[in-house]
Amino acid sequence: MAKTTAMSNAIRALAMDAVQQAKSGHPGAPMGMAEMAVALWAHHLRHNPADPHWPDRDRFILSNGHASMLLYALLHLSGYDLPIEELKNFRQLHSRTAGHPEVDVTPGVETTTGPLGQGITNAVGFALAEKLLAAEFNRDGHTIVDHHTYVFLGDGCLMEGISHEAAALAGAWKLGKLIALYDDNGISIDGKVTPWFVDDTAARFRAYQWNVIGPVDGHDVQALDAAIAEAKKSTDKPTLIICKTHIGKGSPNRQDTSKAHGEPLGAEEIALTRQQLGWKHEPFKIPKSVYADWDARAAGKKAQSAWQKRFKAYAKAYPQLAAEFTRRMAGALPEDFGAVAAQIASQAHDSAATVASRKASQLALEGLTAALPELLGGSADLTGSNLTKTAATADFRVDAQGRVVTTEDGRIGRHINYGVREFGMAAIMNGIALHGGFIPYGGTFLTFSDYSRNAIRMAALMKRRVIHVFTHDSIGLGEDGPTHQSIEHAASLRLIPNLDVWRPADTTETAIAWTVALSQQHRPSALLLSRQNLAYAPKTEAALDEIANGAYVLAEPQAVGLQQPAQAVLIATGSEVQLALAAQQLLAERKIAVRVVSMPSTTVFDRQDAAYKTQVLPPQLPRIAVEMGVSDFWWKYGCAAVVGIDRYGESAPAGALFELFGFTAENVADTVELALQKASS
């Protein structure tokens, strides 16, 4: 008891001291969850501080990321490369102890958390990846994938609707190795939660087909230890352990109050708390005996060594599988990916098919999913519209015992029915990407990217390869009307740093968008695809090589019979490229020469060097952009005019809408001519 008390109080002291020194932060939750941390980290969590990335470690996710000092204290105490100076630098510029945990910044942090509800949802992705990899790679007598995903979460995570989406899927998928510990302290920023949070959480999770343990005393390490041990016995259900705790545990005047949540305790209260806890040490001073009790390096080394021994035997018995597992966990594409990508692009070019870009996406995916077993697809209840399923990707299913169902030839299902859960899908895909072993992609309508947006932003912030397939990309979807017609969405997604946004015009651009997205190991991508058919745009060999640059010269005036230099540049994306080509022909009849530039990805084009940008968009030529979306975005390219739409659409057939909103070759040609007249006046 004395040992666990000292270990718990070390967490409390570090949390108090770091928040006080930073003059900001959240001390209450770390103080309240200290015994939960002791029970899990000292008795159950299998990890190695010397190697935070070994593949079969248990994953720990702090979903209530405002309690970051709990995680930083644990990482420091257990032996990770996080010295006490970093804790003293909590929340300071360039420290490795940011206000909320950030993956790839702090060793041992598995995912960036802060937006509540997304951590538990990431955890579902982690647990799903573990389950699928185990089914794919483990063999009788050779188990190389066998770890748990543990999550701490609080009231805020449960209030966010995304937790419903995630928990329901975790139950449906029977993720028995997912164990969540709920810090049930009844306090949030606004005070006691009872006036606005009256859910029967236990009944809610039982309805999701979870095991529910508790409530247990969240300050009784022995009871918590037993609860975790019980949870680990589950094979067909995830487990929620309800831990009744006191926020700010040990603080005489702040315990069980909202003041303990998000502000320093203050020097006087910290002194009183130290006295109440019997903690007589100076700020940031931890006794050697406590460090020794927390030190996980020897146990971690032993656990990893045992796994490495198993993996060595596995590699001897199944050398190809071992090499494939190693490649995929490293996030590397197969050595022949370049050849595969070239073949898929060539097939798209040679077919010259007139199809919707959503269908062009499926055609590219047929080849990609056959060549890349790590591609893990899905859709938010729109599979027949998003066209994310291929011949190589059977549906993911589990049997009554929670085992992954495989095909007759032993393959796992690689297409996930997420149901109508766009936000949950996006954040689960983040968890899958963070875990490693798979490259996730998922589909929905572009207008519903609003539901997914914060998870898309988190993927970009975390630099993870997640691919979003967004179909029905404009007013071109027609009769469904303005609720489904995307107007501002392309521009809005382009504003997210580190997110590549593609709006391809035909089969070849779509295929290349896919291969470029897959080659980007450290950024997510969004593919914006049409419902309506798009004619193939003929390309020169030079143009084919330049599509991957995000923009390229598609057609010079000579393509329509004018032997004179271009007087203007028409820039278009997606379905509007055909409109620009038709306008180019009309302008040629008026003896006006224009260049047509297809710009499938503004974000990729913006990363090109100045020489290439000037080559594609000569500065001396007026530029006119054409896109069925808000016009504001396009002025950044110095456009003289924009043919766009700055209001919501209407419910009508696509052709009628194009006429109504001026997306006709005649209007584009007139706009170019008027811009030239203004430029010369």
- Tell me whether residue 531 is annotated as binding: yes
- Tell me whether residue 155 is annotated as binding: yes
- Tell me whether residue 605 is annotated as binding: no
- Tell me whether residue 519 is annotated as binding: no
Listing DSSP states for 619-637 in one string gives TTS-EEEE-SS-SGGGGGG
The two tokens of residue 240 are 């929620």
- Tell me whether residue 261 is annotated as binding: yes
Tell me which residue has tokens 């573990």.
130
Listing DSSP states for 105-121 in one string gives TSTT--S---STTHHHH
- Tell me whether residue 26 is annotated as binding: yes
Number of neighbours of residue 463 by Cβ within 10 angstroms: 16
The question of whether 324 is a catalytic residue gets the answer no
* Cα of 519 vs its chain's centroid, Å: 16
Question: Three-state SS across 131-148?
Answer: HHHHHHHCECCECCCCCC
DSSP 49: T
- Tell me whether residue 607 is annotated as binding: no
**Torsion region of 192: left, alpha or beta (phi above 0 gives left; psi -120 to 50 gives alpha):** beta
- Tell me whether residue 448 is annotated as binding: yes
**Paired sense of beta strands 568-572 and 552-555, if any:** unpaired
What is the distance between the alpha carbons of residues 374 and 31, in angstroms, rounded to a whole number?
A: 41
Number of neighbours of residue 409 by Cβ within 10 angstroms: 6
Inter-helix orientation angle 162-172/118-137, to 10°: 20
- Tell me whether residue 358 is annotated as binding: yes
Cα end-to-end span (Å), the chain: 87
Q: Are 253 and 226 in contact (CB under 8 A)?
A: no
- Tell me whether residue 156 is annotated as binding: yes
What is the distance between the alpha carbons of residues 27 and 25, in angstroms, rounded to a whole number?
A: 6
What torsion, rounded to 10 degrees, do the Cα atoms 110, 111, 116, 121 define? -80
What is the distance between the alpha carbons of residues 178 and 234, in angstroms, rounded to a whole number?
A: 9
DSSP 285: -
Number of neighbours of residue 60 by Cβ within 10 angstroms: 24
Count how many Cα atoms sit within 13 Å of the Cα of residue 211 in the half-sphere of its side chain.
Answer: 23
* Cα of 597 vs its chain's centroid, Å: 31
What torsion, rounded to 10 degrees, do the Cα atoms 491, 430, 214, 159 define? 0
SS3 (DSSP) at 48: coil
What is the distance between the alpha carbons of residues 357 and 580, in angstroms, rounded to a whole number?
A: 17
- Tell me whether residue 120 is annotated as binding: no
What is the distance between the alpha carbons of residues 134 and 144, in angstroms, rounded to a whole number?
A: 7
- Tell me whether residue 246 is annotated as binding: no
What torsion, rounded to 10 degrees, do the Cα atoms 316, 319, 322, 324 define? 180
What is the distance between the alpha carbons of residues 593 and 522, in angstroms, rounded to a whole number?
A: 41
Tell me which residue has tokens 């490795």.
96
| Options 269, 422, 576, 627, the catalytic residue | 422
Give the residue from 602, 595, 646 showing the smallest Cα distance to 622: 595
SS3 (DSSP) at 490: helix
Q: Are 475 and 447 in contact (CB under 8 A)?
A: no
* Cα of 416 vs its chain's centroid, Å: 16
Annotated binding-site ranges for thiamine diphosphate? 66, 114-116, 156, 185, 261, 448
Residue positions annotated with a catalytic role:
422
List binding-site positions for substrate. Answer: 26, 261, 358, 385, 472, 480, 484, 531
Binding site members: 26, 66, 114-116, 155-156, 185, 187, 261, 358, 385, 448, 472, 480, 484, 531
Residues of each annotated binding site for Mg(2+): 155, 185, 187
